[in-house]
Chains A and B, each alone.
Chain A
């Protein structure tokens, strides 16, 4: 038997630690290298139970490896920061109200995706959360693009945790903060115990939940208090991945990257009307010409959900064919695995536009066999966001 990855054989001494690293070890986590950090892939309960617990009660995730960036307009006018950032993302930032958050993408001149991120209007500044593996490049990209009009600062004195699941609201309300009035994508500053945190009602699981930015000095204290609640279980990267896949959410580096465009990735919803052709501020972001043309004419391929028949998981990298003999390649699986809540294999990937309709029967190559799968609407599980 051989495991696909053997972190025990690697030299891990170069890896960075989040402020919760020692807490993970004390909880018995199995640690793996991820984006330059030594991160918990699972705790003793295991990926399957962690996944199901998050959908049934509440899961606590350490996402402190992600980048937290503040963009502050030199003029003091938030509109200036919004308009400056709009030059890098095809997103309506000017129309983002104070205390609201929005999903966004950094595009490049070739219409590819440099990273995906969350953008919040915090009144006098914009607050960005970006992927760990991209954060240094994103920071340079922002300084280069916005440096003339904004001060760009990477926060290295804050941890970030996510509390996700149907009990997340009740847990936070019981412990400290009255978050019941928050809607999906609202962001507030609130005290947890005596620690001032930035709380957003968002996440990466398809569940209702919150992401909480905490000053580093209080991170362990807040995390421990959350974990003391009987409804809360610590959740590792393994279940984070299966939860987001069931929710149909992209993982940067797998499902989107510089080789995929927003329209190919089926992320049109992230580009608001004002930035599309005919909008007040149409275009004006890197790669706009091709992206807006794909809006009008469609892309040659599209990201879709893929539901394998049977029980065998189809993993990322598997080639997708139109026929059961493996003659005509029509796409590739970019993320695939087992969905514990679906209780079966699930996948997503890119297929030719002609094959992208829901219900299309395709085949994926797994260990020399061609397993049938069906193009399926995402998400695989119903999202329970509190809108």
Chain B
């Protein structure tokens, strides 16, 4: 199941684990990224907490945790090469995997059609 937030994160949900990244639209708006800071595996976040930071030459932006949960894995590849977020934001450049506290809460997020309408 693919879901989106109004803050431009995407979630690919398999069982009670969501793989989270930022959308192509967001990556385009940010421009070339030069730095990514990811949370520690094992950290817990509530929905809306700042879970990661991305920085372009010009500015820093927060990436929010889209649902309550615990970080079980992070993608070191985007720390080593932040430009991956620009080249493949909705694929190889995922940010973290989140074990959802309440998988059913994902139903309230946007589906792809609703997100596309939001950024149109």
Fill in one digit per residue for B21-41: 1 if any A CB lies within 8 Å of its CB, else 0.
010001001111011010000
- Taking CB atoms, residues of chain A closer than 8 Å to B9 are 1
**Min C-beta distance of A288 to chain B, whole Å:** 38
Fill in one digit per residue for A331-363: 1 if any B CB lies within 8 Å of its CB, else 0.
000000110100001000000000000000000
A242 at the interface (CB under 8 A from B): yes
Cβ-closest chain B residue relative to A6:
B29
Q: Given A238-B57, A337-B57, A1–B31 Cβ distance below 8 Å? A: no
How many residues of chain B get a CB closer than 8 Å to chain A's CBs? 24
Which stretch from B58-66, B68-76, B101-109 is at the chain A interface? B58-66
Are A338 and B60 in contact, CB atoms less than 8 angstroms apart? Answer: no
- Taking CB atoms, residues of chain A closer than 8 Å to B57 are 47-48, 51, 238-239, 242, 337-338, 340
Are B54 and A238 in contact, CB atoms less than 8 angstroms apart? Answer: no
Fill in one digit per residue for A225-239: 1 if any B CB lies within 8 Å of its CB, else 0.
000000000000011
- Our pick among B34, B35, B58, B62 for the contact of A2 (Cβ within 8 Å) is B62
Are B32 and A48 in contact, CB atoms less than 8 angstroms apart? Answer: yes
Are A313 and B60 in contact, CB atoms less than 8 angstroms apart? Answer: yes
- Taking CB atoms, residues of chain A closer than 8 Å to B22 are 1
- Our pick among A2, A49, A367 for the contact of B61 (Cβ within 8 Å) is A2
- With A and B bound together, what is the CA distance between A242 and B58 in angstroms? 8
**Min C-beta distance of A340 to chain B, whole Å:** 6
Query: In the complex, how many residue pairs between chain A and chain B have their CB atoms under 8 Å apart?
Result: 69
Cβ-closest chain A residue relative to B26:
A1
Cβ-closest chain A residue relative to B9:
A1
- Our pick among A4, A49, A241, A345 for the contact of B32 (Cβ within 8 Å) is A49
A205 at the interface (CB under 8 A from B): no
Cβ-closest chain A residue relative to B82:
A311
A69 at the interface (CB under 8 A from B): no
**Min C-beta distance of A258 to chain B, whole Å:** 26
Q: Given A1-B9, A47-B58, A338-B57, A313–B34 Cβ distance below 8 Å? A: yes
**Min C-beta distance of B106 to chain A, whole Å:** 18
- Our pick among B8, B53, B56 for the contact of A47 (Cβ within 8 Å) is B56
B7 at the interface (CB under 8 A from A): yes
B111 at the interface (CB under 8 A from A): no
Closest 3 CB pairs of A and B: A48-B32, A4-B59, A338-B34
Given contacts A47-B32, A313-B34, 5 further A-B contacts (CB under 8 A): A2-B62, A46-B31, A46-B32, A47-B31, A239-B57
Binding site for B on A (CB under 8 A): 1-5, 41-42, 46-49, 51, 238-239, 241-242, 311-313, 315, 337-338, 340, 345, 367
Pairs across A and B, CB under 8 Å, 12 listed: A1-B26, A3-B29, A3-B30, A3-B61, A4-B59, A42-B31, A48-B57, A51-B57, A238-B58, A242-B58, A315-B60, A337-B57
